[in-house]
């Protein structure tokens, strides 16, 4: 039993050393920022597509569906374009 505990502690120590290495932490930070930027870009593109499709649906006579899609696109655009800007403003305030 004591041998298993020592093996576990050794593996845990190696894992902590590996994860806390500054070079790996820097790469993880870059990957997280890149992933966040990709998600924001996808959200912005889909918001614009929602606004366009809502406008097209309204113009061809599908009023209720068009209005629903258009409002959803506007809310999505406000969230994806305004959210990161608001977060940057709050970062600068509390810096």
- Considering 32-36, 53-57, 79-83, the range whose residues carry the highest mean pLDDT is 53-57
Q: Please give the pLDDT value at position 45.
A: 92
Rounded-to-10 torsion of CA 30, 35, 40, 46: 150
Averaged over 4-33, what is the pLDDT?
80
**Pairwise CA distance, residues 40 & 68, whole Å:** 22
* Residue, of 58 and 26, whose pLDDT is higher: 58
**Pairwise CA distance, residues 28 & 19, whole Å:** 9
Q: Please give the pLDDT value at position 23.
A: 63
- State the average pLDDT for the chain: 86
Is pLDDT of 21 > 70?
no
Q: How confident is the model at residue 27 (pLDDT cuts 50, 70, 90)?
A: confident
> Quick one: how far is CA 83 from the chain centroid?
11
Averaged over 17-37, what is the pLDDT?
77
Nearest to 84 by CA among 36, 45, 50: 36
């Amino acid at each position: 039993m004591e041998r298993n505990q020592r093996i576990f502690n050794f593996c845990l120590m190696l894992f902590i050393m590996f994860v806390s290495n500054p070079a790996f932490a820097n790469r993880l930070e870059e990957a997280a920022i890149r992933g966040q930027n990709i998600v924001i870009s996808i959200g912005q593109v889909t918001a614009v597509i929602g606004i366009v499709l809502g406008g097209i649906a309204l113009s061809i006579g599908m009023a209720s569906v068009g209005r629903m899609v258009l409002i959803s696109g506007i809310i999505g655009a406000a969230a994806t374009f305004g959210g990161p800007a608001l977060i940057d403003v709050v970062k600068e305030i509390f810096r």
